[in-house]
Structure 1
Amino acid sequence: MIVRSQVYSLRLVIVALSTLLCALGYYSYTNYTSLNEYHEFLLNENASVEAELNQMVMNYDMLEVDNRDLQARLDDSKIRISRILDSVKYLKPDVYLVSHYKKQLEVLKDENNKIYLLVEQLNAENVFLKEEAIRVNTELDQTIYVSKSLKTENSTLSRINDKFKRQINKAKALSVKNVLTEGVRRVTNSGRIKSTLSARRARKINVCFTIPENKFAAKGKKELFIQILDPSNNVVGDRGVINVGEQSLIFSEQLVVDYENVSLQECVFIEPLPGEPFQKGSYFISIYHQNTLIGKTTMELK
């Protein structure tokens, strides 16, 4: 009876151990399967983050941005994406890393949405600017057409209109025509001018000219400078110096006129400095406005 009882007890122990081993085996298998599924989940999440980052880089590369500040933001985002991509590709994924990557991905997505919104705004502004450019060009063409219609009024304005095709600002410049000069012997008390062709008798030179009508020019005070060169290429009068481009110009007289966009006639007397009488020969008269030559002529004193 004792032996049979021991055998029976041993059978119970074996059954219990077998049951325990089966339970452990099942638990190990279940745990192994769960670990594999968890590892596969981490890999899938890691791959999903990597795919989204790659797509963002491709989208950035396709964007064409002319704005420097916006381009700098794009470059900064691409650098951050590249750094995260390197970590995603070469670091072993775990719960913390995947969670960290996904948080950074959400931040980048928000930045991405803001950048795309700015790009859309810039594109809309560019469309508006192009439309404005077309409108301005149309108005410019109409203005050029109007300027051509004035061509028959005078040859000087015709030359300005030709230049107006290349640069509209030149249409606003003053011009002069009918530049007339004469040697002056004296001026009577009544204002009559006694002219002369003799260099020995001349005491001054009278310069007269017409500023024609110009609807494009701004109204107001206009400062003109007149230069007269004698036969020896010396400046008659020498009243001061102005800059014309990169060169200096000695002028013989300064004249300020009040221009109201209508034809205007002006005359000015120019006298030589004491001790510098007029010489026989050709004199060259030039008229400047805003450092630009706008009229010229020559005269002879015998």
Structure 2
Amino acid sequence: MIVIPHTYNHRLIIGSLVIAFVVLGSYSYLNYDKLEDYTSYVAQEKKLLENELSEMITRYDKVQVDSESLNIKLEQSKFKIKRILDSVKTLQPSAALLDLYRSKIKSLQKEKEEVLGLVSKLKKENERLALKAEKIEQDLLGVKGVRSALKVKNKGLTSINNTLSKKIEDASHLEIEELNAKAVKRITRKRIVSTDKSHKANKLHVEFTVSKNKFVEEGEKDIYIQILNPNNNVIADEGVVLFGKQSLIYSKKIKLDYKNEDVNLDAIIIADVDQPLTEGVYFVNIFYDNTRLGTTSITLQ
């Protein structure tokens, strides 16, 4: 039987403990190193997430749109991002939790791109509409300019038309020429003998020519002869004709079949027995409708 000395046993135990301490120390050192690397990784990831979320919020703040529905979408997305950012800042996240946040951020980024795409599309549409509105405004200004020019031109044409209408209206009346009137002493088969002596005359002879006028309609026309004595009374009163609100007392009425040709007319007006011709000036007027075509006078002694 072999007997091991106690001193040897103590050395063996001490050696084993030393080895155990060395192994435990090495393991603890390695674990501490890994823990420190993990903590650093989590802190770094947390910072990156905060920066990324802050940048997304800043991007949203810079976006301005007039669409109420898009503004609502922007505010909803921005609210989600702020809530995640607050969680990342206040909590002590782990790698697993950071991965979860990273997944949510990807979803929010996709949502952000969709919203910003709608904003960009709306902006382009607004620019297109603005250009279209500008073109319409320019076209409208052009139309207004043309309308203004046409208005001025039309005003000028209206003035010209009124002038021409007035000229045509003036030209469409009958006209007479060579109006002559004489007191008559006697009438023979060959000629009418005139006189300027009132006591020798009891008749007046009026003659004139109705001129050719292409602006006057053909047809029957009533020509009226009015003779006023020195007392301004109508001699040989044959009646009254009305022209609207105006009236005319006439001495003789001649019916003319007008055919746009020169027509020579004459008439003998016999003084009334109870109103013989006297000394003075007699005025002879020729009327058609309410228009006086001509006038002349006879002076009797």
| TM, length-normalised to structure 1 | 0.49
Which of the two has higher C-alpha Rg? 2
